[in-house]
Structure 1
Amino acid sequence: MSTKSFLAKQFAKKIHKKTLKWVQNPIETQQKVFQDLIHQANNTKFGKDHNFSKIKTFEDFVKQVPIRDYEELKPYVDKVVNGEKDILWKGKPLYFAKTSGTTSGAKYIPLTKESMPFHIEAARNAILSYIHETGKSDFVNGKMIFLQGSPILEEKNGIKLGRLSGIVAHFVPKYLQKNRMPSWETNCIDDWETKVNAVVEETFNENMTVISGIPSWVQMYFEKLHQKAGKPVGELFKNFNLFIYGGVNYEPYRAKFENLIGRKVDSIELFPASEGFFAYQDSQKEKGMLLLLNSGIFYEFVKSDEFFTENPKRLTIGEVELGVNYVLIISTNAGLWAYNIGDTVQFTSLKPYRVIVSGRIKHYISAFGEHVIGKEVESAMQEAMQNTAVSVNEFTVAPQISPATGLPYHEWFIEFENEPENIENFALQVDDAMRKQNTYYDDLIVGHVLRTLVITKVNKNGFQDYMKSIGKLGGQNKIPRLSNDRNIAQKLEKEINDTK
């Protein structure tokens, strides 16, 4: 065992003990975070506008601070972007994480000197947790790659801004600098296809042991490696045994990855966002990711099926239940207050608190009252692919409300790697899996309001071409699993028709 490997194990043991202290006292930990946040923001404009000086309990907070999304918080964010201080959090942010907005263009998410360290520590602790549980640490001696956005930052009123992954690149610990790939120059390439080609050239002859990134874009990297080497990635990188990912569910990609790699490798799931690093997979044996309750974030949860009602009940960590779909609401030491990040989660464990990401509250289909969420379509696809040679590169789902003939239906746009022998039979298998999960959907089928789903085949690389056409190829961008409209569907249809 190398010195570096030995020290990694010792450090992992130390961090595990530190983590256990708050894991074993979750409610007290969250209460302490809550009180600290209110105290530190007491004299900010937001704090004064919402009577923070009078807030003593969570019930007080609920009365004073309504749930907001970015659009509703934007008047405060605009003041911060314009260079004003003590608005949402004391002083000014260190950075803005710039992300794609919905109705207001770019979103500027503040990162403060208090919040930034938790982004770094959480990613580090996820790896250390893996080392502590499995005893595997030899990978620290090899090369590690993190497919991410450009670290080149802009500046706005004295505050640097860029994509979160690009900002984080500036905080890579010194002990990882020699192991980290790609080079700074390659990381700065903006065009994603050019970047991936450069990454392939740089890493081709290296001892890669850890590879990290959003699955859809790592797949692109693996395919290019496979094409260049003429053999599986696992043969090219014989010591590659750990894949770290976040952003999307890995399960629809797992079979494809194992085929490209040529064998199974361990994986660690992360739940990071510009707004905070919320959870990481702390066990290879248990389902879900450990919710980080001691990271400067106070969590609230609202049941998804109540979210759009008037005054939905806001719950704290001690009130959640297993298997219920919750909208995740956060208040943070970056100055986000009762903020709806748009993600929905379900708890898989309450001792400790572990979650899975079940979808997006705005990414759902309920054109007919069916309340279909991302987790359901992904699970249905996974079930239909089991015990078959069918594999899928990417897919998305949209309602077809006004078909040319017959009843309305859900249309599944699928880019197959290996197509089913009978696509209609495969559609029925997916549909059956959907009906078992979602009683509303089943009722609509039984009641002849909807017909069974329809699969539309997307051309090879069709989703990549779509993302490229809207300027979102690579980085942290990903295809929504489902939409309640046909905006994406119409663009995919046009591309399919143009190639006929």
Structure 2
Amino acid sequence: MLDQLIARAVQLGSLPRLARVRHEPEAAQAAVLRYLLGRARSTAWGRRYGYEPGLSASEFAARVPVSTYEQLYPELEKVLRGQPDVLWPGPAPRWQARSSGTTNARSKYLPLTPEALHHNHYRAGRDMLALATHLYPAQRLLQGKTLSLGGSLNPSPFDGGALTGDVSALVMHSLPGWAQTLRTPPLPLALLEEWEEKIERIARHVLRQDVRVLAGVPTWMLVLLRRVLALTGADDLRQVWPRLGLFLHGAVAFGPYQPLFEELMPGGQLRFLEIYNASEGYFALQDEPGSPDLLLLLDHGIYYEFLPAAQFDQPDPRPVPLEAVTIGPSYALVISSNAGLWRYLVGDTVRFTSLRPYRVRITGRTKHFLNAFGEEVVVENAEAAIAAAALATGCAVCDFTAAPVYFAAATGTSRGGHEWAVELAGPLPPPAAAAFAQHLDQELRRLNSDYDAKRHRDLALALPRVHFVPPGTFETWLRGRGRLGGQRKVPRLANSRQVLEEVLALSQQGIDLQR
């Protein structure tokens, strides 16, 4: 009964508010902007840009510049070093979110204010809990445990009194007591820093628990679940956790991973819901099962603007407000938030699939795409094409990355191409391996007219080269860069060949990638 009481309480607090977000989105965003400007009036940033009551959205956009992390960093560093009232009122927060560093080579550090923790991350977490229990009441999800994987925490390199880590670890560490009782493993295990030790100890701890929900990044959750099966000798997860019913996933596109999870939990018992959570904020969640679209969370302390793709590299970018977006094009996400980020270019790109309500799909990163020859292939295209090729050839893809190959430099021809490193869950027969590139190419041509035009009669782009790398290659690449675990992942696409060549070099060394 206690689980049902918690579910009802969470649903009463979340579902009516989510309904208002769906039906009155512009009003929700106007209220958020008023709140942000009112709270930050007295900060150094607010005084610099003339924050005042009644400042309109257009006046705000005219006064405040769009900033990348690098451009905002001088002010962020003051906050990270403990200076108060810089970007957000009050003392500098004692929590600092460290990004996975997929946009830049080095990690980014961002302050996590109490308001951002409570009004953004916690609120969105309660919303997801409300939706899950509402959508799947028969699963009695709260009667068991949520198995969640996160990162670790360390003293801040800027301020020894602050803690830093990926946002999942910070949120997990700060959860209220009632929420801690719903999750596993306990914090001392969940926040272990050494990833391989963490996986082993968590796997052993959760063997005999009543796990009903999984929450984490698909790549690392697979590693843990396979270890659980190895320790128990079970054929699939139904024999370990018979009431397991839901996987809350994020950070990477789920299409290539879903067959792997269905193989581990056959019978259609395991449901899937996606969340869109980043170091900068919790932005969206999947509120309709079976649809890949994510509901944009518009009353969670974040004011949104959207930069059209044509302006990604412009010196004077001009994002549009929510009411000016259209269905179809990719936009870069620009946020102003109660973490003290002002017109901040997150680095993610989305496209709208619905305007009533506002729903999006993640299309990639502003710096992660293939456009060496005018083909403009974004991460969304790549992930969909990989999933289609895997389905057509009967394989399961664990990870991949791609980069341009410049034929002209090597052969004197005028054609370019793309080179892919793909890691599979198991061996692929030679005929299927040979067909994989064909299916990949066909789906890219179907999805992307620019790519299709460049591939016409092989005049500008040749058929993709696909290398199947041994199991463990990508994990070894991440380990070598200190990026194992948490929300850390391999860049999918890049116009630089550095990541691809490093991965291919590892695959050719003949080392024991399985440890």
Give the TM bin, normalised by the shorter chain. over 0.9
Cα pair 1:374 1:482 within 8 Å, conserved: yes
1:42 and 1:344 mapped to 2: Cα distance? 30
1:54 and 1:25 mapped to 2: Cα distance? 22
2:160 and 2:241 mapped to 1: Cα distance? 45
The within-5 A match list for 1:157-196 is 158-196=161-199
Cα pair 2:85 2:92 within 8 Å, conserved: no
1:396 and 1:103 mapped to 2: Cα distance? 16
Shift of 1:240: 0.6
Q: Quick check: 1:149 aligned with 2:159?
A: no
Corresponding residue for 1:359?
364
Corresponding residue for 1:109?
110
Which of these residues, 301, 319, 323, is aligned with residue 324 of structure 2?
319
Corresponding residue for 2:77?
78
2:205 and 2:160 mapped to 1: Cα distance? 36
| Misfit runs of 4+, over 3 Å | 100-106, 151-155, 157-160, 309-313, 402-407
Deviations along 1:237-263, one digit per CA (max 9) or x if unpaired, are 111111011111111101111112233
Corresponding residue for 1:126?
128
The within-5 A match list for 1:388-399 is 388-399=393-404
The within-5 A match list for 1:205-224 is 205-224=208-227
Corresponding residue for 1:275?
280
- 2:339 aligned counterpart, secondary structure: coil
Deviations along 1:196-242, one digit per CA (max 9) or x if unpaired, are 01111001122111111100000111111222233112222111111
The within-5 A match list for 1:325-474 is 325-402=330-407, 404-405=410-411, 407-418=415-426, 419-422=428-431, 423-446=433-456, 448-474=459-485
Cα pair 1:242 1:267 within 8 Å, conserved: yes
Deviations along 1:403-432, one digit per CA (max 9) or x if unpaired, are 644643101100112425422322011101
Shift of 1:312: 4.1
Deviations along 1:165-194, one digit per CA (max 9) or x if unpaired, are 221122323223333211222123211111
Shift of 1:310: 4.9
The within-5 A match list for 1:472-487 is 472-487=483-498
Cα pair 1:234 1:263 within 8 Å, conserved: no
The sequence identity of aligned pairs, in percent, is 31
Identify if the C-alpha distance between structure 1 residues 103 and 287 changes in structure 2 by more than 3 Å, giving closer, same or farther.
closer
- Structure 1, 103-112 or 34-43: larger mean CA deviation: 103-112
1:332 and 1:343 mapped to 2: Cα distance? 16
Identify if the C-alpha distance between structure 1 residues 103 and 349 changes in structure 2 by more than 3 Å, giving closer, same or farther.
closer
Corresponding residue for 1:20?
19
2:54 and 2:155 mapped to 1: Cα distance? 38
Corresponding residue for 2:137?
135
Shift of 1:153: 4.9
Identify if the C-alpha distance between structure 1 residues 120 and 384 changes in structure 2 by more than 3 Å, giving closer, same or farther.
same
TM-score by length of 2: 0.92
Cα pair 2:66 2:317 within 8 Å, conserved: no
Cα pair 1:9 1:137 within 8 Å, conserved: no
TM-score by length of 1: 0.94
Q: Quick check: 1:239 aligned with 2:249?
A: no
Q: Quick check: 1:9 aligned with 2:8?
A: yes
State the one-letter code of the partner of 1:197: E
Cα RMSD (Å) of the superposition?
A: 2.1
Deviations along 1:116-135, one digit per CA (max 9) or x if unpaired, are 10211211211211222333
Cα pair 1:93 1:113 within 8 Å, conserved: no
Shift of 1:306: 3.0
The size of the alignment, in residue pairs, is: 499
Corresponding residue for 1:99?
99
- Structure 1, 100-109 or 451-460: larger mean CA deviation: 100-109
1:352 and 1:320 mapped to 2: Cα distance? 12
Cα pair 2:100 2:483 within 8 Å, conserved: no
State the one-letter code of the partner of 1:483: A
State the one-letter code of the partner of 1:167: L
Shift of 1:100: 4.6
State the one-letter code of the partner of 2:146: M
Corresponding residue for 1:306?
311
Q: Unpaired runs of 5+ in structure 1? A: none
Cα pair 2:41 2:51 within 8 Å, conserved: yes
1:214 and 1:64 mapped to 2: Cα distance? 38
1:211 and 1:153 mapped to 2: Cα distance? 28
Identify if the C-alpha distance between structure 1 residues 8 and 492 changes in structure 2 by more than 3 Å, giving closer, same or farther.
same
Deviations along 1:358-408, one digit per CA (max 9) or x if unpaired, are 111111111111111000001111222235422111111111124644643
State the one-letter code of the partner of 2:359: R
State the one-letter code of the partner of 2:99: T
